[in-house]
Structure 1
Amino acid sequence: MLLRLPRLPRLHRRALAPALSLVLAAGGVTLTAAPATAAPRPAATTQTQQADGLLGVLEAVIKPLISGIGGVGETLTLSLPQWNLPGVTNDVQWLSGGSPIPGATGTSFVPTLEQAGSAVQAEVTGRLLGLLPVEYVTNAIPIPLPGGGGGGGGGSENPTLEVLQDPSITGIPGVGSLLQILNPIWSLPGVTTTYQWFVDNVPVPGATGPTFVPGFEDAGKQVHALVTGTLAGLPIISALTNYLPIPAATEEPLAATSAATITGTAKVGKVVSVEDPTWNEEGVEHAYQWLRDGSPIAGATGKTYTLTPQDYGRRILVKVTGSKEGWTDSTVDSQEVSPALGDALTFTSQPSVSGTVALGRTLTALPGAWGSGDTPTFTYQWRRGGQVITGATSSTYVVSTDDLGSTLAVTVTATRAAYAPGLFTTSALPVAKLASATTLKGKKKARVGKPVRVKVGVLVDGFAPDGVVSLLDGTKTLKRLRIARGTKKVKLPKLSKGKHVITAVYAGSDATEESRSKPLKLKVLPRR
């Protein structure tokens, strides 16, 4: 007898080639399934690999899988692959005996009598812009003929692999508890058994052994497994275990075994940090919230905190919350600190004085810059010769006669809320004395024994000088007098006969420079 296979599309012929074989039997030829599931197509063609430089190779991290009990009227469910790149779209086509089933393009399929005696698979094609499509063919689920008949035409002479007793899960359901599959009882010996565990009907990556330990992420969900048996020359058989609910894990509270502690200098402008508490469990993660007078400080959720002017004199603490999966969060308060005044302000740009240092001219104090933060308020105190000038507290100052011959400076005080004030005194600026001019007038001849009168004057521009004038005959001092109003008539002592050179020397004052007159040449004649 000759059994003719229907012509399959190239893809399906390649996918199913290892799954089908012709076996000679008494009285004819029987078509049977190979021992393993149909091999999927390669995940990437050469052209796809050439596109690797643009987007990478598209492949399934978890391949598609059919679950369910093979039988007419029994729903089969397809779990779609998980891809290594985002944005992949999936096209599904169910197959019967390697041929497409018209209209069967969803994630579930209910076999009909048309599929009885064949194996049902699904072909999933992943598509992503810029890459060629990648196709995978799932495991095969055999659909037996009604009444338990085989699909090869050889009748009872062909053995059939069947499940005599369904697999089941044993163990105490719970997070961290070991669960184990009791294998099904097969109708034939030598069956190779494979496994796939599911949580809430989603395949668990890597969970392909006979045991499984639920994690915290599985609490409150249902666990089951798909058990697949393969035997050379016979269709593959799959069976589902019972569904086992995993109860929600009972969380225990974390407990701190030491306090949280604020470290660092509690001053405005300084950075303080918190030392984490220790707990009754390892691997605890921490979250932080700093508080001012019991209220959360917006944005202050780090391990460190910079104290601000608003914190001055207030009660500052930090709440440290410990958390770990499977445990109830616990929060610990640190000790309270009350920040003191910040350090005195220091300038980043030095204060100075602008203007001409001269009588009647206005000087201006420039306060400079004093670091970051709010602009400080400034006060001023002018100084003469290092001493405070009473009432001179403006940013400007007019040079007065009292300043002549002395020095001027200004002390700038910068004040910012919650910081100690910063002070700086500018360099002393000398105030020059006023220039003076001394004059000496008188007769150029006189007689011995007759009085000699001269007129002495000291002139200062715009200022009435005061000070002592010495009258010299050569280097000999004839007389000293005080100039009170700028000029004065003086009677010289009696002079001897001969020539005399008379000079007036002004000694100057606190406000004026010294000066010397031109010499007056006087000839004293003998008596008549």
Structure 2
Amino acid sequence: MTRLLHHLRPVLVGFVALAAALVVLPAVSVPPAAAASTYLCTGYASCKDAGYSHHGYRTEGKKMWWQMYSGHNCTNYVAYRMVQAGMSTTRPWVGGGNAEYWGEHLEGRTDQTPMVGAVAWWKADVPGAGSSGHVAYVERVISATEIVISEDSWGGDFHWRRMTKGTGWPSGFIHLADKAVETTTPVDTEGAARVGERLTARTGTWKPAASVAVQWLRDGKAIAGATSRTFTPTPAVLGHRLSVRVTAKKRGYKTGVVRSGSTMKVRRGILANPSAPDLSGTPRVGETLAAVRGSFSPRPDATTVQWYADGKPLADATTGRLELRPGLVGRTVTATVRAVREGYRPLVVAADPTTVQRGRIGTDGTFAVTGTTRVGERLRVERGATTPRDADVTYTWVRDGRPIDGGKGASYGVRAADAGATLAVRARVTRPGYEPRLLTLPAPARITTRPGVDVDPVGGPRRAVVAVRVAAPGVPEPGGRVTVRIGTHEESARLVAGRARLVLTGLGAGRKRVRVLYSGTPVVEARRVVDAVRVTR
């Protein structure tokens, strides 16, 4: 058929010249010559049954498209596919319509890159084409050297072919209505347009499936480095509108580019407070409370503290610590922490409040009563240290737990009435804003009394009679035992009503030393007295 058309070409040219005054004649194309290709199907019905579409040309091919001859004709089929792809029904050039002219008239749109939807074009008299050239429609691009085309041919039939670059490869590819990857679902953004809150790009579903790249935009302009599917607005985009541009690429297809609608203007972010502020320390006068600032997310640029009492801010109380003074007793205290970060709303969070209690006065344990615990002596209080140091101390002396009339002050003269008693002093430590503290300080020992011992020895023949009388302040009639010793002779007796009479016999004549020992009692102290007596023969 190719050779026959070649011989008829002069006749056809003459016919075209004759008819030119009436209409612009449609073009014809000769069927392609054999090429490095594999036929996938032949014929409209067979191709359809095999899953290779003729895209309606079986019916629409009865029409002339771009003034090409209808029916089995490569140019009419490809023109139909171009119009079907959205091009005008008017041929996009002026001049001959034979396949060989397509690439020449559309030179600016012709290159060596196969694309889906492009026109595969063969020059005249090249392998794969006859004297009028050939055109086909690129259905798939497997690689830069392998494509799948659909075609029709003058005097031939409809085909789908798989071609590998080599003999019969197209002379070029004309890009008139190349197919681009397209979305079947919208490109959009998901999330709130707020500083610090992540936005997600919905990149859409693309047909055919393609690799996508994302670019986030601020007021329509690209944001440097913002090319992932998620974007967290920074302070730099505060007050601006955001959108996302998705670029989809697939080998053999025009790049698809879709831009989403714009968000609302980006608002200030919201700081989170996973861990609330807290107050650390004992809420008592004299103690110090510390404001534990808690945690914030994201991390703030700065935090400040303000202390409050009964809901009112305390002057000059803006550090992390608050000394509790007497004026705060009974008041409810709290601290607020204000966190700030660029691009975010300030966040003020309060710690749980606490009520300030009276303070507790501390002592160092060195308070003590000193002095001799004897009637007639003076006891004194040795004051220890207090916290606070300026606390006031008052003293009350007690006898066996009962206050002593006139027993005030830091010292006390021990009285006869105290003999045998246990003395102590009650030290009351006070300071405004503090709970009074009462210390009971015992005397070192039970109160004793020092006796007076009166000895009256009378000598006789080889004997001596010793009368002993014991008197003690605070003890009307002391008891206890008295021992008298003269030389090696010794006698003892128990006092009765403070008196005792002892007789020592078998003594030698002469002046003798009399030693008297009063053993005392738990209250009356022991006493030694020495006297003398003359013993006769």
Please state which band the TM-score falls in when normalised by the shorter chain.
Answer: 0.3 to 0.5
What is the TM-score with the length of structure 1 in the denominator? 0.41
* TM-score, normalised with respect to structure 2: 0.40
Greater helix share, structure number: 2
* Larger Rg over CA atoms: 2
